[in-house]
């Protein structure tokens, strides 16, 4: 998937209208689609996890703060990269937030060059995550086609068990294990055990 500005959306969440407007102007001038919100609550109400982009959020806002917004996104399992805008050089807060997945901070006042560089870097990460998520969903769709018994056989293949050991584990014949293996390979659309492992493990 391309990570050009035209295919990317930058979300801005800041209660300061002047900041929202200046960020929007700078980003639109660089070819980005921009959606701006005056509150975290408003953003969450409209946020579509399918849209690939990056979030620029003020740390300190009335109502839900930028950090609380991050917690909400984590709870939703949203993989949206976040840039926090702060005028407060709070190092412990930055370290704690980075550990939870925020990728960068913009400290006021920031330059247009800094903003451009950070957004470009974050969008690369956003598109990589989106591609990875799409691959994982594809693998999960394939895995969902397996019967319970096939899933049991697959778990043991992944664990490195031999056909005879799998047969003993499940109280079935080796021939039945071989039949299950063949069905699993066909349903997962793979021809080698290496590819089989890739599908089975990628979901995690």
Q: Provide the mean pLDDT of the chain.
A: 85
Domain assignment present for residue 178? The answer is yes
| 100 & 30 share domain | yes
- Are 82 and 151 part of one and the same domain? no
pTM above 0.75, yes or no: no
- Do 35 and 110 fall within a single domain? yes
Same domain, residue pair 126 and 152: no
Residues 76-117 have pLDDT tens digits of 878 789 888 877 666 566 666 665 555 678 877 778 888 888
Statement to judge: residues 99 and 185 lie in one domain? no
**Of 172, 171, 196, 170, nearest in space to 183 by CA:** 196
């Amino acid at each position: 998937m391309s990570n050009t500005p035209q295919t990317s959306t930058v979300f801005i969440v800041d209660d300061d209208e002047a900041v929202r407007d200046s960020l929007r102007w700078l980003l639109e001038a660089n070819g980005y689609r921009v959606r701006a919100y005056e509150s975290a609550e408003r953003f969450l109400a409209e946020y579509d996890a399918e849209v690939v982009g990056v979030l620029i959020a003020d740390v300190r806002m009335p109502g839900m703060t930028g950090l609380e917004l991050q917690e909400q996104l984590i709870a939703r399992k949203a993989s949206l990269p976040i840039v926090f805008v702060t005028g407060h050089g709070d190092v412990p807060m930055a370290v704690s937030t980075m550990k939870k997945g925020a990728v960068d901070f913009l400290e006021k006042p920031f330059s247009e060059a800094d903003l451009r560089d950070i957004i470009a870097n974050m969008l690369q990460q956003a598109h990589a995550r989106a591609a990875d998520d799409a691959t994982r969903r594809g693998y999960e769709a394939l895995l969902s086609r397996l019967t319970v018994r096939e899933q049991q056989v697959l778990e043991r293949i992944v664990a490195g068990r031999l056909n005879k050991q799998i047969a003993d584990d499940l109280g079935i014949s080796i021939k039945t294990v071989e039949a299950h293996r063949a069905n699993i390979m066909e349903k997962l659309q793979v021809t080698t055990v290496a590819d089989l492992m890739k599908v089975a493990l990628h979901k995690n």
